[in-house]
Amino acid sequence: MLLGSTTYSQTNKTNSSSGITYSGNESGVFRILFGGEQIGQEKFLITEASSGYKATAEVRLTIEREKQKAVFVLKPVLTLNKFFEPSAYQVTQEDGVNKRTVRVIFKPDKSERIYEAGNEHDTREIELKKDVLILDDNAFHHFILLAKRFDYVKGGVQEFSAFVPQQFLAGGISISDKGKETVKLGEKDFILQHLLVDTGELQINLWLDDRHELKRLSVPKSNIEVIRE
């Protein structure tokens, strides 16, 4: 995981947002940098239908391991109902000949996470809130959906429940409004709204424009930066 191993606050946090601000379709490309050097790219697409939303992406990462470069390809698919509650999730990760798949089956009582890699098969149950945020490894467009859940009128600090399927981590996160800041993207300066996401272990900075589109993300502890093209 590029973001780094993390834990989530185990307090019983609930979503304080008063409503969903997301509507319409959105697509884009993120450049993924580590230590200032580009190591990958994410192409994402979020679509709206009468039944809800669907978010898909293809993430390509080139990571050096033992002085050799390995290419990882991730393909996450997340569907949500019109109330922004997740209804299905699947992500596949390929690394050469290796392939693993994680699926989440959301249920009213206990949801199931199913992990498959070769002959390995692991199924675990977990209690998840109906409006839990899915924030999976290196699926940076998930932070777009997170930012749309924030109540910008109310502002302040707001709390949510989150789940990382590949690591089987669940807990509470907080999002706080840090106001407007001048941010350089390329050769231009932009006035962007700064949100700070706190998982209890990691702090993730989000910068958004006036339409609340995510333009930049940074994780100082992991030396990761994500910039929208």
Q: For residue range 163-185, what is the model confidence (pLDDT) as tens digits?
A: 999 999 999 999 999 999 999 99
Burial class of residue 167 (count of CB atoms within 10 Å of its CB; 0-12, 13-18, 19+): middle
Q: How high is the pLDDT of residue 14? A: 46
pTM score: 0.89
Q: How high is the pLDDT of residue 12? A: 43
Intervals of the chain under pLDDT 70: 1-23
CA distance 52 to 49: 5
Q: How high is the pLDDT of residue 9? A: 52
Helix (H, G, I), strand (E, B) or coil at 143: helix
Q: What is the pLDDT of residues 55-93, one digit of tens each?
A: 999 999 998 877 889 999 999 999 999 888 999 999 999
Q: How high is the pLDDT of residue 5? A: 46
Domain ranges for the chain: 26-228
Q: How high is the pLDDT of residue 64? A: 84
Q: How high is the pLDDT of residue 136? A: 94
